[in-house]
Amino acid sequence: MNPTAYCESLFEYKRIPTISVPVGELAIGSKMPIRIQSMTTTDTNDTEASVAQCIRIIEAGGEIVRLTTQGREEAENMRKISESLRAQGYLAPLVADVHYSPAAAEIAAKYVEKVRINPGNYTGGAKRFENDVDTMTDDEWMQFLVNKLKPLVLVCKLHETTIRIGVNHGSLSDRIMAKYGDTPQGMVASCMEYIKAFQQLAFDDLVLSIKSSNTRVMVETVRLLVATMRAEKRVYPIHLGVTEAGSDTEGRVKSAAGIGALLIDGIGDTIRVSLTEDPECEIPVAQRLVDYITAKKGHAKIEHYPTTTYSPYEYKKRKTKEILGVGGDRRPVIIADASGRKSPERNGAEFVYTNDNYTDGGLTIADLSSFDPKRPNCCPMLSNKNFFGYKQTAFVRLSLDELTDEVISELQSRDNLIIAVRPRNVNIVAELRAFVFAMESYDIHLPIVPWIRYDAKQADVFQLEAAADTGLLFIDGLVDGLMLSDYNITQTEVTRTSFEILQATQVRFSKCEFISCPGCGRTQYNLQETAQKIKMRFGHLVGLKIGIMGCVINGIGEMADADYGYVGAGHGRISLYRGKELVKKAIPETDAIEALVDIIKSDGKWVEN
Ligand code: SF4
């Protein structure tokens, strides 16, 4: 697949053209604003609570609201919820979220503006068709799908209801799993066969999503889907989200890194930031992310460089030399910028950049003006102007527009420089990508560390902007470290955010990773409170992934690659998993956290905090 086939430009912010699809009074598609949405966590049969939560989401700025629709009863109750909201003047489109139950989808489609179905389970649960699947030809399977979807399409045509084909990593059908495994290719194939079935039924009001809790999988898969649709010359609007992103900083950084990486390349017509928090808390985060990215429209032109190695559909780390422990096969490093701080702090960063006489035993980078060659563990940061005269190992700060013939020739002759790239364009991703491609063009393999200065004033804004600007660089393996600055935010917070970005993009693990679902009407326990307790108890287990899921129905599949799972299994009951193996079934919630500790201890993976 052509590496640039998924977007309009790698160097200019431009939304990819899609068809426009009506969703009630709104439309979704590239000519429309990027729509913000969320999902309720109430019992959909509880009309009063569901309506109240929908209103909170809408009043926070949510433009579309999704509700769990497990079965016929919930589907029928969507009528009451819709009527109550409309009677109170709230016109935001409602979406029924359906798994396993075509009957529920067909009922809900009469009352709501959009129905989400999951190809992994719409045909009634993949397991039931296992034998049929083995013997069906592709044509027979397509006919089977068309027949299965026809009743829903008839209702949707009659009621002008849109359909979202929502594929999730970890919940693919057996047929797709047998052919492709749980891969980006499998997720795209699953989506494409549903698109073709709907096209055969002359139904075109489709929105697509492919989600994963793994940002790298999610970004690569959505790109592949878009490239596939562009090749077929019909691109449907895309709904973006990172599933089970978690809460607090972790959830925000993970969502911004994954969603931001796609938005910046012009992909995404509606987004949901899934947080294990009250759903209305998701709206300002999503809106800020959209505003931050769309504000880059019309940015200054960025010089193009060709590439033969860029690999947007499959992770490949850019090959670099290792210098001072940066680059090569080393994990990405973190550089704390303490140059404007009264008391520099390392906070686990490999390097501290400072003008002061700071020594704490670790490596310090000093501006050349204050560089003292007698100081141990100190390396200079050189500017574009002074790096020619200094032939020892050093950092050099450069921008794309400083790559003159003379600079390039010097870089080509050196194998002891680490380049700290200072972007000047507001489209930071595109400029840094162009810089990396420039190095490739000139056969320069020096490590690259983006050095980005923010003026965000609030920690949560800084986290969102920094993750949106740098997530793609790590997801695509383009850079070797991270140097962030914002003098309005404490240095501890800036460095913590840097670690969060590396963890969110799967390139460096500094704590336990929690794959925590946002909760919905299926949730079986107090998810938010429990997630906080689990984070406290297991947060120090570096490198482990723990899934915290509200229900067994979707939770098992959707925690995908977690090492352990804590999953709701009935009121006040929890099931514990090792990978996808059920280890403790429906034990009392009060015992579950310590039971999980015991399982991890018995696996020899527990360490005391
Ligand atoms: S795992 Fe279950 S409870 Fe959690 S969001 Fe998914 S369906 Fe809802």
Ligand 1 atom nearest 568 alpha carbon = 3
Q: Which of 60-69, 241-250, 590-599 is the least confident region?
A: 241-250
* CA 577–ligand 1 middle distance (angstroms): 16
Pocket test for ligand 1, best of 515, 527, 558 (most atoms within 8 A of CB): 558
Position 326 scores a pLDDT of 97
Alpha carbon 34 to chain centroid distance?
Answer: 17
Q: What is the per-residue pLDDT for 133? A: 56
Using the mean position of ligand 1's atoms as its centre, give its distance from the Cα of residue 522 in Å.
6
Give yes or no for a contact between 517 and 276, defined as CB atoms under 8 angstroms apart.
Answer: yes
Flag whether pLDDT at 395 surpasses 70.
yes
Q: Per residue in 325-354, is it b (16+ CB within 10 Å) or e — as a string? A: ebbeebebbbbbbbbebeebbbbebbbbbb
Query: 567: CA distance to ligand 1 center in Å?
Result: 10
Kindly give the residue spans of alpha helices, DSSP state H, lying in 233-384. 248-263, 282-294
Tell me which of 533 and 356 has the higher pLDDT.
533
The string over 576-604, giving b where at least 16 C-beta atoms fall within 10 Å of a residue's C-beta and e elsewhere, is bbbeeeebbebbebeebbeebeebbeeee
Q: Ligand 1 centre from 432 Cα, in Å?
A: 37
How many Å lie between the centroid of ligand 1 and the Cα of residue 43? Answer: 12
pLDDT over 90 (residue 476): yes
Q: Which residue, by CA, sits nearest to atom 7 of ligand 1?
A: 554
Q: How far are the Cα atoms of 382, 394, 413 from residue 370, in angstroms, in the given order? A: 11, 14, 26
CA distance linking residue 203 with residue 154, whole number of Å: 9
State yes or no: pLDDT of 373 exceeds 70.
Answer: no
Query: Phi and psi for 106 in degrees, rounded to 5?
Result: -70, -35
Which residue owns the Cα nearest ligand 1 atom 5? 519
Check: pTM over 0.85? Answer yes or no. Answer: yes
Indicate if ligand 1 lies below 6 Å from the C-beta of 522. Answer: yes
Radius of gyration of the chain (CA): 25
* Topology given in CATH for the domain delimited by 35-237: TIM Barrel (3.20.20)
CA distance 508 to 499: 8
Tell me 155's DSSP state.
Answer: H
Domain 333-504 has CATH 3.20.20: yes
CATH number of this structure's domain 513-602, picked from the four choices 3.30.413.10, 3.40.50.720, 3.90.1150.10, 3.20.20.70: 3.30.413.10
Instruction: State in Å: Cα 59 to ligand 1 middle.
Output: 24
Mutating to test ligand 1, I would choose from 40, 42, 95, 551 the residue with most ligand atoms within 8 A of its C-beta, which is 551
Q: Where are the alpha helices (DSSP H) in 94-137?
A: 102-108, 130-135
Lowest mean pLDDT among 2-11, 352-361, 483-492, 594-603: 352-361
Between residues 418 and 357, which one has the greater pLDDT?
418
Whether 45 shows a pLDDT value over 70: the answer reads: yes
Instruction: Give 372's pLDDT tier (boundaries 50, 70, 90).
Output: low
Is the pLDDT at 560 greater than 80? The verdict is no
In order, the DSSP letters of 316-360 are -PPP---BTTBSTTSPPEEEEE-TT-SS---TT-SEEEESS---S
Cβ of 519 below 6 Å from ligand 1: yes
The pLDDT confidence band at residue 136, using thresholds 50, 70 and 90, is confident
Cβ(534)–Cβ(566) below 8 Å: yes
Q: Is 518 in the pocket of ligand 1 (CB under 6 A)?
A: yes
The per-residue pLDDT for 132 is 53
Q: Report the chain's mean pLDDT, rounded to a whole number.
A: 93
Tell me which residue has tokens 């798994």.
99
Measured from the Cβ of residue 397, the count of other Cβ atoms closer than 10 Å reads 19
Distance 201 CA to ligand 1 centre (A): 31
550 lines ligand 1 (CB under 6 A): yes
Q: Which of 68, 530, 549 to mutate to test the pocket of ligand 1 (most atoms within 8 A of CB)?
A: 549
Please indicate whether residue 548, judged by its CB atom, sits closer than 6 Å to ligand 1. no
- Decide if 333-504 and 513-602 have a common fold: no
**pLDDT recorded at residue 93:** 98
The predicted pLDDT at position 127 comes to 44
Q: Which numbered atom of ligand 1 lies nearest the CA of 517? A: 4
Tens of pLDDT, residues 438-475: 999 999 999 999 999 999 989 999 999 999 999 999 99
- For residue 554 and ligand 1, the question of a CB distance below 6 A is answered with yes
pLDDT tens, 275-322?
A: 999 999 999 999 999 999 999 999 999 998 888 889 999 999 999 999
pLDDT mean over 84-100: 97
Domain extent listing, the chain: 35-237, 333-504, 513-602
Tell whether ligand 1 has an atom less than 6 A from the beta carbon of residue 205.
no
Q: At what angle are helices 248-263 and 491-504 packed, to 10 degrees?
A: 60
Paired tokens of 403:
């790559």
Query: Ligand 1 center to residue 457 CA distance, Å?
Result: 35
Per-residue pLDDT, averaged over 217-230, amounts to 97
The residue with greater pLDDT, 126 or 11, is 11
Residue 555: is it exposed, middle or buried by C-beta count within 10 angstroms (0-12/13-18/19+)? buried
**Mean pLDDT over residues 136-155, rounded?**
94
d(CA 239, CA 269): 6
Residue whose entry in the numeric block shows the structure tokens 């929690």: 514
> Tokens 């690999």 — which residue?
311
